Amino acid sequence: LCKNEPRASVQGSLLLAGSEAGDTLEYNPNLLDDPQWPCGKHKRVLIFASYMTTVIEYVKPSDLKKDMNETFREKFPHIRLTLSKIRSLKREMRNLSEECSLEPVTVSMAYVYFEKLVLQGKLNKQNRKLCAGACVLLAAKISSDLRKNEVKQLIDKLEERFRFNRRDLIGFEFTVLVALELALYLPENQVLPHYRRLTQQF
Ligand SMILES: *[C@@H]1O[C@H](CO)[C@@H](O)[C@H](O)[C@H]1NC(C)=O
Ligand SMILES: *[C@@H]1O[C@H](CO)[C@@H](O)[C@H](O)[C@H]1NC(C)=O
C-alpha cells in the first residue's frame, strides 16, 4: 500500500501501515491540537548551551493559515481534509454536545474516535460529517446513561446540525465501530489531554 503512495512522508506511511497491521502505532492525543502547528516553517529553533528555545517570526495571519494547511498536507498526505476543516468539525462536535448537555468527558471520547479515523486517512469530503456525528453518538452511548428520549434528542440535533439523514447516521455508526475495531473503551491517557483542553476552555 505504501509503495503506491509516492508522496507519503515517513510518518504518513507509518500511520497507514499501523492501521493495517493492527495497533502498532500509538495514537497521540496531542498531535492534531498541537498549538505549534500553525507556525509551521516560520518557526526557528535556537539551541543554546543549556536550553532550547523557539522563536516565531512575525507572519501575516493569512500566510499563517496557508502555511498551516500546507504543512499539514505535507506531513500527512494520506489525510484528505485540511487541518482547518478538521478543527472546525471538532468545534461543531463540541458545540452541539454542549447544547445536548453532554459532559466534557463524552466530547473528549468523541474526539479520540474522530481523530483516530482522521489519522487513519478514513475521512473524505463525503463522509466527514457522518463520521463526526457517529463519533459523538457512540461516545454518548458508551459514556452517558442516556434515556431513550435523550438519544432521540441527540440524533435530532446531529441531523439538524450536520444535515444528514438519521438512517445514514445509524448505518455509519456501525462502520465507525468496525473502523475503531470495537475499541470504544479508551485508556485514560488518550482521553485526558482532550478533557484538560476542553475544561480549560469553559
Ligand atoms: C485552509 O483550509 C481552510 C479549510 O479548508 C480553508 O478555508 C482555507 O482557505 C485554507 N487556507 C489556505 C490559505 O489555503
Ligand atoms: C453553538 O454555536 C452557536 C452558533 O455559532 C452559538 O450561538 C451557540 O452559543 C453555541 N453553543 C454553545 C453551547 O457553545
**What is the model's pLDDT at position 3?**
35
Mean pLDDT on 151-169: 93
80 lines ligand 1 (CB under 6 A): no
Give the burial class of 58: count Cβ atoms within 10 A of its Cβ; 0-12 exposed, 13-18 middle, 19 or more buried: exposed
For ligand 1, say whether the CB of 84 is within 6 Å of any of its atoms.
yes
State the CB neighbour count (10 A cutoff) for residue 48.
Answer: 7
Residue 63 DSSP code: H
Q: How far is the centre of ligand 2, averaged over its atoms, from the C-alpha of 44 (Å)?
A: 37
Cβ neighbourhood burial of 145 (10 Å; 0-12, 13-18, 19+): exposed
Query: Given the CA of residue 94, which atom of ligand 2 is nearest to it?
Result: 14
Give per-residue pLDDT as tens, 57-107: 555 666 666 677 787 888 888 998 998 899 999 999 999 999 999 999 999
Contact 93, 28 (CB under 8 A): no
Interhelix angle for 104-119 vs 188-201, to 10°?
120
In this structure, what C-alpha cell is assigned to residue 156?
435530532
Residue 10 confidence (pLDDT) above 70: no
Q: Tens digit of pLDDT for each residue in 13-64?
A: 333 233 443 344 689 898 888 765 555 455 544 445 445 455 555 556 666 6
**Atom 10 in ligand 1: residue holding the nearest Cα:** 66
Pocket test for ligand 1, best of 63, 67, 69, 85 (most atoms within 8 A of CB): 69
Distance (Å, rounded) from C-alpha 98 to C-alpha 194? Answer: 15
Sequence ranges of the domains in the chain? 37-75, 81-200
Tell me the pTM.
0.75
**CA distance linking residue 91 with residue 87, whole number of Å:** 6
Domain 81-200 homologous superfamily, CATH: Cyclin-like (1.10.472.10)
